[in-house]
């Protein structure tokens, strides 16, 4: 019986260690990439940006725009053709607007509100009488009678 249990546990541990590499379909990988996407975000209070990219095989062309805090728009155009690497060009549109920091509102302290005192609706009840004081008096120890010892008679 011990041998059977040992063989079962060994077979489970060996099967748990089996490694199987991922199989891929080479026809999917060998196809040239072909896609095109565009998105724009126009939030006049917070953000204004966009991105456009297209790819056909080994050629990639794209452009993205970002609204800068100084009022200009930064436009980056890029391309990758084969193994030439990433080539980007940067240009700016618009003029730099002068920055004026926000001015805090002037502080004007207001006078404190007048104190309003109102009488209590009912008079307070009379105070409760104090309990009588307790005095500690320990119990006296018990009195024991003296014990007399008598020697044993000789044998």
Q: What is the DSSP string of 120-151?
A: -SSPPPPPPPPPPPP---PPPPPP-PPP---P
Half-sphere exposure of 38 (CA within 13 A, CB side): 0
The angle subtended at Cα 44 by Cα 40 and Cα 47, nearest 5°, is: 55
The SS3 call for residue 64 is strand
Residues 6+ apart with CB under 8 A from 46: none
Give pLDDT tens digits for 56-95: 988 999 999 998 888 889 999 999 988 888 899 999 998 9
Query: Among 96, 88, 40, 87, which residue's Cα sits nearest to residue 68?
Result: 96
Half-sphere exposure of 72 (CA within 13 A, CB side): 12
Cross-strand bridge partners of residue 74: 66, 92
Burial class (CB in 10 A: 0-12, 13-18, 19+), 67: buried
Q: Which residue has the tokens 């309990």?
A: 131
Average pLDDT, the chain: 84
Q: What is the pLDDT of residue 134?
A: 84
Structure tokens, 44: 């006049």
Percent of the chain with pLDDT over 70: 88
Give pLDDT tens digits for 96-119: 888 888 889 899 899 999 988 887
Q: What is the pLDDT of residue 51?
A: 93
Q: What is the pLDDT of residue 126?
A: 83
pTM: 0.47
């Amino acid at each position: 019986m011990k041998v059977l249990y040992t063989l079962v546990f060994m077979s489970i541990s060996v099967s748990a260690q089996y490694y199987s590499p991922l199989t891929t379909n080479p026809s999917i990988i060998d196809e040239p990439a072909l896609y095109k996407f565009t998105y724009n975000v126009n939030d006049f209070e917070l953000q204004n940006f966009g991105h456009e990219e297209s790819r056909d095989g080994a050629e990639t062309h794209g452009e993205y725009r970002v609204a800068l805090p100084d009022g200009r728009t930064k436009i980056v155009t890029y391309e990758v053709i084969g193994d030439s690497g990433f080539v980007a060009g940067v240009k700016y549109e618009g003029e730099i607007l002068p920055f004026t920091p926000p001015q805090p509102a002037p502080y004007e302290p207001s006078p404190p509100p007048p104190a309003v005192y109102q009488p209590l609706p009912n008079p307070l009840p009379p105070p409760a009488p104090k309990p009588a004081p307790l005095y500690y008096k320990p119990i006296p120890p018990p009195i024991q009678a003296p014990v007399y010892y008598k020697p044993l008679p000789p044998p």
